[in-house]
Structure formats: structure tokens, C-alpha cells
Amino acid sequence: MTHSLWAEQKKAYFAGGCFWCMESAFEKAPGVSEVISGYMDGSQKNPTYQNYADSGHVEAIEVQYDPQKISYSKLLDLFWRTVDPTDAGGQFVDRGPQNR
């Protein structure tokens, strides 16, 4: 029987306003190995920061984590502390559909 020194990493995706604001909350969490900013849910291939909102994308993050050190439930707790789910117009000072 072989044992891996590296635990299997999982990925979770979150969108909730400015991805830079969301990054910082997740990067500090024990068990999170990487947080990558990007765009989701639009029609344009390879959007940029200058044009992502024009094609319906939202700012999002990919969280890579070790489920033996942090659960998906704990990641959700971080997410709900980072966003206001009752605000359909954006998140905090980040307004518009790209920040919903």
C-alpha cells in the first residue's frame, strides 16, 4: 500500500463582487493552497478586465483547498461573511451586474 504525501486538492468557485476583495478572505484560510481570480458566466472567449462586463461575465475566484484541512462548509461560511446576498445590484461599493 502506498501513501501520498500530498492530499487530494479540491476546487470551489465563488462569485460575489470584486474578486480582489474575495481573494483576501480565502487566502488567509488554513487549508487553502491557492486562490485564482477570473471571470465566469459570459459569452466572450478569453475576456479581459477591460471588456468582461460587456459580454455578461462576473468576477469570480477559484479556491484550491485541502478538504482534510478545511471543509467546503467552512469555505461557504467565509463566502457568506464576504458578500451581502440581499443586494442584487452588486456588492458593497462594486456596483453593476458584473458584481452581483
CATH code, domain with 60: 3.30.1060.10
Mean pLDDT over each residue of the chain, to the nearest integer: 82
User: φ, ψ for residue 42 (rounded to 5)?
Assistant: -115, 180
pLDDT score at 41: 84
Q: Is residue 50 part of a domain?
A: no
Q: Is residue 93 part of a domain?
A: no
Active site residues: 18
Is 40 buried (19+), middle (13-18) or exposed (0-12) by CB count in 10 A?
Answer: middle
The predicted model scores a pTM of 0.79
| Domain range for 31 | 7-43+55-85
- DSSP reduced 3-state for 81: helix
Number of domains in the chain: 1
- 89 or 4, greater pLDDT: 89
Q: Is residue 1 part of a domain?
A: no
Cβ atoms 21, 93 nearer than 8 A: no
| pLDDT, tens only, 40-75 | 888 888 888 787 778 888 888 999 999 999 999 999
Helices 19-27, 72-82: axis angle to 10 degrees equals: 140
Find the mean pLDDT for residues 7-28.
Answer: 86
